[in-house]
Structure 1
Amino acid sequence: MQDVPSLVAAAREGRPRAVARLISLVEGASPQLREVMAALAPLAGNAYVIGLTGSPGVGKSTSTSALVSAYRRQGKRVGVLAVDPSSPFSGGALLGDRVRMSDHASDPGVYIRSMATRGHLGGLAWAAPQAVRVLDAAGCDVVIVETVGVGQSEVEIASQADTSVVLLAPGMGDGIQAAKAGILEIGDVYVVNKADRDGADATARELNHMLGLGESRGPGDWRPPIVKTVAARGEGIDEVVEALEKHRAWMEERGELAARRLARAAREVETIAVTALRARIGDLHGDRRLSALADRIVAGDLDPYEAADSLIQNLTGT
């Protein structure tokens, strides 16, 4: 058993091992998870959470590393949660954080953690919200969540970040994807990376056109900017940071930041509750109550919805 108060205190002091142990407790769904979250609750809520997503190969890790450098130049502590595909053998992350962003490995003001999706759809790991809370409570001013890069279904980040950044690159088919529903509808800031390649201007123009189609924004509403970068050389990154800060200021002025965080907390509570209910339902397999309901459905005495209502009543006592 871990000494949670000591771990939290050490994490607040910026000790990476303590942060790592807290996130490991989260990832492993430790019996101490409730104690961890209770200890972190009054300490979190200060970090600016940036979600960074896009198709594989657009340069998400390079862009993340460049953003980390930009924020470190401002003297801010930065946490990075890099969500990776899962190994089919160990369940762990296939890509390593030190391989991806080794430039920052020795910087005490940066904490980088790779986290496996473990089969969770939507581009994020199921434990990502709690892991973000750990980094937030550990004193990070900015937390960057880099998603796994699964394509258009990867829209969950929009509900987990204060600001969502969508990366594209010329010559990767993103222009075609822009016409479809999905990942290109969630961005607050759009970045065309690898802008030194042919087709970058055309990609930016097409994206701007697609964003204007069916647009129903009113006066004062946020219109996502399009920024061109060459992340490998750090070009355009300051402009991305400027766009992020403008979006944050716009959200704070409109009350949108508080609204997004409130909605995020509500979704987290809902997810935890549904997970707990699902576990309790799983425990009923082979239980006579479930078998009795199934018998009545087969006999035509009960429909599945009535049976489900009855099951919920048994589980919740309401």
Structure 2
Amino acid sequence: MADVPALVEQAREGRPRAVARLISLVEGASPQLREVMAALAPLTGGAYVVGITGSPGVGKSTSTSALVTAYRRMGKRIGVLAVDPSSPFSGGALLGDRVRMSEHASDPGVYIRSMATRGHLGGLAWAAPQAIRVLDAAGCDVVLVETVGVGQSEVEIASQADTSVVLLAPGMGDGIQAAKAGILEIGDVYVVNKADRDGADATARELNHMLGLGEARAAGDWRPPIVKTVAARGEGVDEVVEALEKHRAWMEERDVLADRRRRRAAHEVETIAVTALRERIGDLRGDRHLPALAERVVGGELDPYAAADELVAGLTGE
């Protein structure tokens, strides 16, 4: 059994092994998870969470690494959660070594963790909210969450981040992808990466046009900026940081940031509660209550809604 108070104290001191151990307890759904979360709760709320998403090949890892460099120049401690596709056999992440961020591996002010989706839809690992909390409590000023590029499902990052950055690149059909994936609703900052390629200006114009066709904005509403970068050379990255800081200031001024965090916490609580209920339903399968209800539905004695009502009554004792 892990010594949770000692691990939390060591994580607060910036010791990477303690942070790694806490995130491992989260990922493994350890029996000590409740103790970990209870210990971390008073220590959280200071980190600015930035979600980075986009289709495969747009340069998410390179852009994330460039943002780490820019924030480190500002003296900020950075946490990176890089969520990778999972092996369907081992559950392991395909890019666990994060070779494209290796330049930061020896920096004590940067903590990089690869997490596997383990088949979870939406581009995020199921444990990501708790892992974000670990990095927050460990004193990270900014937490960058780089998601799997999974097309239409990647919009889930909007429910986990304070600010969502959507990356696009010229020549990859991202304009069509943006229109169909709900990305126009979730982006707070848009980045056209690989802007040294032909078609970058056209991609930015197309994106600007589609944003203009979106919902009408009232005076004072946030209009997502479009920033062009060449992340591999660090070009335009300072402008992205500037856009992020402007969005954060705008949210704080209008209490939007606090509202987003409340909604994020509500979503997390709901997810935990639903998971607990599913486990209890699984227990009912073992005592034949659910199969008996299913048999009555098949036989026409019960409709599925009435059967569900009986199942819920069995769970709640009502």
Aligned to 2:245: 245
Deviation of 1:150 after TM superposition, in Å, equals 1.0
Aligned-residue offset at 1:220: 0.5
Aligned to 1:10: 10
Any idea what SS the aligned residue of 1:155 has?
helix
Contact 1:153 1:183 in 2 (8 A): no
Over aligned residue pairs, what C-alpha RMSD do you find?
A: 1.1
C-alpha distance in 2 between matches for 1:297 and 1:152:
35
In the alignment, which residue of structure 2 is the partner of 1:77?
Answer: 77
Matches within 5 A, 1:114-263: 114-263=114-263
Mark the runs of 5 or more structure 1 residues left unpaired by the alignment.
none
Give a deviation string over 1:235-264, Cα, whole Å, max 9, x none.
000000000000000000111000000000
Structure 1, residues 167-209: CA drift from partner, whole Å, max 9, x if none?
0000111122233242343100000000011110000000000
1:53 CA drift (Å): 0.2
- Say if 1:151 and 1:183, in contact at 8 Å, map to a contact too: no
> Following the alignment from structure 1 to structure 2, what is the Cα–Cα distance between the partners of residues 76 and 152?
33
Cα distance in structure 2, aligned partners of 1:123 and 1:199? 28
- What does the per-residue CA deviation read over 1:144-185, in whole Å, with 9 as the maximum and x for residues that have no partner? 000011112211000000000000000111122233242343
Q: For residue 275 of structure 1, what is the aligned residue in structure 2?
A: 275
- Whole-Å Cα distance in 1 between the matches of residues 295 and 175 of structure 2? 54
Structure 1 stretch displaced more, 297-306 or 18-27 = 297-306
Equivalent residues of 2:96, 2:115 under 8 A apart: no
Match of 2:284 in 1: 284
For residue 191 of structure 1, what is the amino acid of its counterpart? V
TM-score (norm 1): 0.97
| 1:94 paired residue number | 94
Distance in 2 separating the partners of 1:119 and 1:95: 15
- Within-5 A mapping of 1:16-27: 16-27=16-27
Q: Deviations over 1:94-145 (max 9, x none)?
A: 1024413001000000000000000000010000000000000000000000
* Moved segments of 4+, more than 4 Å: none
Are residues 1:107 and 2:70 paired?
no
Q: 1:132·1:143 contact (CA, 8 Å) conserved in 2?
A: yes
Q: Which moved more, 1:132-141 or 1:303-312?
A: 303-312
Q: How far apart, in 1, do the equivalents of 2:178 and 2:55 lie?
A: 12
Measure, in 2, the Cα distance between the counterparts of 1:53 and 1:124. 10
How many Å separate the matches in 2 of 1:98 and 1:189?
Answer: 24
TM-score in terms of structure 2 length: 0.97
- Stretches of structure 2 that go unaligned for 5 or more consecutive residues are none
Change (3 A) 1:98 1:153: closer
Other structure's SS at 1:65 match = helix
Letter of the 1:203 partner, please give it.
Answer: T
- Counterpart Cα distance in 2 of 1:83 and 1:295: 41
CA contact (8 A) 2:88 2:119 kept: no
Q: CA deviation at 1:285?
A: 1.7
- Give the C-alpha shift of residue 314 in structure 1: 1.1
* Residues 26 and 33 in structure 2, CA contact (< 8 A), matched pair in contact too: yes
